[in-house]
Amino acid sequence: MTLDPRGSRNRLPAPGAGFVWEPLPVVDDAYYLRPDTDRVRAAYTTRQGGVSNGPVGKLNLSLAAEQQHGDLSAGGPVRVFANRDLARRAIDGEREWATVRQVHGDGVVQAKRRGPRLDADGLFTDMNETTLAVISADCVLVLAIGADRFGVAHAGWRGLAAGVIENIVRAVDATEVFAGPAIGPCCFAVGPEVIEAFPGAATDERHVDLWLAAEQAAKRAGAPSFRAARICTSCNADLFYSHRRDKGVTGRQALIARYPS
């Protein structure tokens, strides 16, 4: 069930155990999905509540997507930064986010306050003032929490197969792992090369459950707790961007996270 256009909270799709819908501060009738943990403040954003237009409307958090598909005559980059300012309020985070240049691989790096973005698909920190972020329009976004550091990762099927989830779990020695909204097995029809990469997560000869594949990866790396939102980005057009559903002409939602103040 998708979000009612009027924003009724009881029309939001029910998430898996370990996730809670919360109102996005300052914005009427918009929500984010909160992982149910007090060790890290984190938010899985939706497309609701922002200022972008066209195929990337409304809460697009990707500059590249805005430049490719947004209304550049209406100040595209400015709109993305305005959207990020809205999104950060969910966790009372910093205006500047630590990010990576996502490449669908297995690379995981330690977040830095300054310097160029690195090619990677995960990053971690032990610093209280740092907000980490990864973006997606179907891929699994993972939050991994350890005793003295936490990390986030972007995991499409290629990154999953390469081991990005194992790498982020081991990098922080995670005891809690959360996997947010992503394209579900209902909509993730794939070819034999993907089925062969995830034989334990294939639901039939044409579909793969990326949440199950992520859980298997996290447990292989030693995480004792794994929870998945199990909300399909492709099924919920009013609520999420979806690269596959929208044939690439779409925006990006995010996972943003920081330590509590």
Structure confidence by residue, pLDDT tens digits, 173-227: 999 999 999 999 999 999 999 999 999 999 999 999 999 999 999 999 999 999 9
What is the domain range of residue 108?
Answer: 9-258
Identify the CATH number of the domain in which residue 76 sits. 3.60.140.10
25-43, pLDDT tens digit by residue? 999 999 999 999 999 999 9
pLDDT in tens, 4-26: 444 455 589 999 999 999 999 99
The reported pLDDT for the residue numbered 3 is 42
As a whole number, mean pLDDT of residues 160-168 equals: 98
Q: Is 66 a member of any domain?
A: yes
Asked if residue 4 is part of any domain, the answer here is no
Instruction: Pull the structure tokens for residue 244.
Output: 């596959």
Q: What does the mean pLDDT of the chain come to?
A: 93
In a domain, 3, yes or no: no
Helix axes 210-220, 164-172, angle to 10 degrees: 40
Per-residue model confidence as pLDDT tens digits over 115-141: 889 999 999 999 998 999 999 999 999
Domain-located, residue 194: yes
Tally: H helices and E strands in the chain = 6, 11
Reported confidence tier of residue 72, pLDDT bands at 50, 70, 90? low
**Residue-by-residue DSSP string for 210-250:** HHHHHHHHHHHTT-SEEEE---BTTT-TTT---TTTTTT--
